[in-house]
Structure 1
Amino acid sequence: MSDSSNSAGERFTLQPDTTGTGDGLRLEPVETDTAAEATEKEPSYGWTMVRELVETVVLSLVIFLLIRQVVQNYRIENHSMEPNFYEGQFVLVNKLAYRLGQPDRGDVIVFHNPRNTSEDYIKRIIGLPGDTVEVNNQTVFINGEALIEDFTHYPIPPGEYSGPFVVGDNQLFVMGDNRPNSSDSRVFGPIDQDLAVGQAWLRIWPLNEFGIVQHVDLPLAGAPVSQ
């Protein structure tokens, strides 16, 4: 016997005509399991789960990469910024701070070590472009005026002399708050601002010290102290 179908997609089969009124053959519809066929074409539950997992991972990766363009976390690895930052603390760095604004004296920044750019340092900005910085008689002088440093408990060692350093365009002079135990611009000179990763923004660990990083004003002895 042969099969045929109509325009609506319904299938028929030819059967012998036992009624005696036809030519010996008649058409009878054949039932088809269209529901089963449709089900077989639908994605399996396992494949759907895999697809959703891949989409979630990709979306999470995109969000992570976008966040990394804005902030980045760092662990303090040494004592050079004590008493304001201690080894083992974690801080978030605002990487857009100096793309959208200008650095200021007193800002705490993270930057690539100019002698080894795979290593990052955290220091405080002391000198800005155009400044002349000199260290003498346990005092930092900027353009001949003594810098008031009430934010550090570790003074410059007696007899140390550095400079004078002229801070060029697009450069910064940086120092650690722990003056006797910091490798900074007194050693490697002013840094290019392009080396700056960003401004220290949020202290996130330990939790009992969680909060916004405070950036101090650094007035000069001959300038009015901001209130």
Structure 2
Amino acid sequence: MNLQSILGNFALILFILTIFTGAIWFLDVFVLAKQRKAAADAALAEFDSRRAKLSAEGLKLETSNREELKATLLRQPAWVEYTGSFFPVILLVFCLRSFLYEPFKIPSSSMLPTLLVGDLILVNKFTYGIRLPILNKKIIEINQPQRGDVMVFKYPKDMSLDYIKRVIGVPGDKITYKNKRLTVNGQEVTYKELPDFLDEERLTYAKHYEENLTGVHHQILNDERAPTYVSGDHYFPQSELCSYDTEGFTCTVPKGHYFMMGDNRDNSADSRYWGFVPDENIVGKAFGIWMNQNVITNFDFSKLKRIGSFQ
């Protein structure tokens, strides 16, 4: 599922703004402010000398004029005030977004019923390791993605797009999906049937199950009308590790890669179609919903119950 692509690469734009405003801020602190102070000191010394001379001649002068002159001389130019002043805010946003948490919006239904269209979620950027902004290169190892995690990553076929899916297979796993049922490393995944789910976007019902993915319980949907086979040419990097037939497929996850699937199993473009997700594409772990867009745009306050963590 495509999450968002703001102006092509929002992280790069934020980085450029941070550098630009930061350069002006440092220029002002270490150069321009000192120049203004030196010019102010010289002008005030001349002002004091002239006032002393006039005072000696018996003229009484207003003391407030000196403070007004000082404030005027030390005031930042407008171009500095309206650029450099944004630097601390932009720097804080850049650091929070790059190393701690990043917000995303869910635009499609491929993760139903876990995530609805319009859910505004938060992604933990450090749980899978600290990465350099823009380059997305991991510099500090912390944790590895686990089966059942809901993960945001760069779409392998277009790195400008962020996708969100559930981790089904980690490196070395053998994943089999036959007749819409999963088997992981020879262990059949168990399912508990739930009442049918109404997809409010499509106005259709889907079969609704609780899936126990090697100890991680979460909900999935199946469309009985959809075929069991995976359509397409099945050509992607290391596709030789997968075999497809009319009942589904079997894939062995290569080292440093992950197999991802949407919870809305028959309405999700995922690893079944475009292949494995390499570690360098990982953005972070989705862990909570902080709002749903319909609360803001349509005043649908029933969606407030969406706020919170999810599995």
Task: Verify same fold: TM over 0.5.
Answer: yes
2:278 is equivalent to residue 200 of structure 1: no
Whole-angstrom CA distance in 1 between matches of 2:249 and 2:261: 13
Larger Rg: 1 or 2?
A: 1
Whole-angstrom CA distance in 1 between matches of 2:73 and 2:57: 31
Structure 1: gaps of 5 or more residues: 1-8, 14-28, 215-227
2:210 is equivalent to residue 210 of structure 1: no
Match of residue 124 from structure 1: 166
Q: 1:11–1:31: 8 Å Cα contact kept in structure 2?
A: no
> How large is the Cα RMSD of the aligned pairs?
3.1
Task: Give the 3-state SS of the residue equivalent to 2:266 in structure 1.
Answer: helix
Match of residue 19 from structure 1: none
Q: Residue 52 of structure 1: CA displacement?
A: 6.8
Whole-angstrom CA distance in 2 between matches of 1:168 and 1:144: 17
2:67 is equivalent to residue 39 of structure 1: yes
Deviates more, 1:101-110 or 1:153-162: 153-162
Match of 1:188 among 274, 297, 302: 274
Q: 1:138–1:155: 8 Å Cα contact kept in structure 2?
A: no
Q: Residue 82 of structure 1: CA displacement?
A: 0.6
Match of 2:114 among 60, 64, 84: 84
Call closer, same or farther: CA 1:202–1:31 in 2, change over 3 Å.
Answer: farther
Match of 1:174 among 243, 252, 260: 260
1:148-206 alpha-carbon deviations (Å, 9 max, x no partner): 35221326855324432111121111100011111111111221021111111220122
Instruction: Count the aligned residue pairs.
Output: 192
Amino acid in the other structure paired with 2:287: W
Matching of residues 99-114 of structure 1 within 5 Å: 99=129, 100-114=142-156
Q: 1:131–1:166: 8 Å Cα contact kept in structure 2?
A: yes
Whole-angstrom CA distance in 1 between matches of 2:282 and 2:53: 79
Call closer, same or farther: CA 1:34–1:167 in 2, change over 3 Å.
Answer: same
TM-score (norm 2): 0.54
Q: Residue 56 of structure 1: CA displacement?
A: 4.4
Whole-angstrom CA distance in 1 between matches of 2:272 and 2:307: 31
Call closer, same or farther: CA 1:45–1:107 in 2, change over 3 Å.
Answer: farther
Call closer, same or farther: CA 1:145–1:38 in 2, change over 3 Å.
Answer: same
Call closer, same or farther: CA 1:203–1:44 in 2, change over 3 Å.
Answer: same
Percentage of pairs with the same residue: 29
TM-score (norm 1): 0.72
Whole-angstrom CA distance in 2 between matches of 1:187 and 1:90: 26
Q: Residue 45 of structure 1: CA displacement?
A: 9.8
Call closer, same or farther: CA 1:52–1:213 in 2, change over 3 Å.
Answer: farther
Q: Residue 44 of structure 1: CA displacement?
A: 2.8
2:91 is equivalent to residue 62 of structure 1: yes
Whole-angstrom CA distance in 1 between matches of 2:282 and 2:113: 22
Structure 2: gaps of 5 or more residues: 1-48, 130-141, 192-209, 211-218, 230-246, 293-303
Structure with greater helix percent: 2
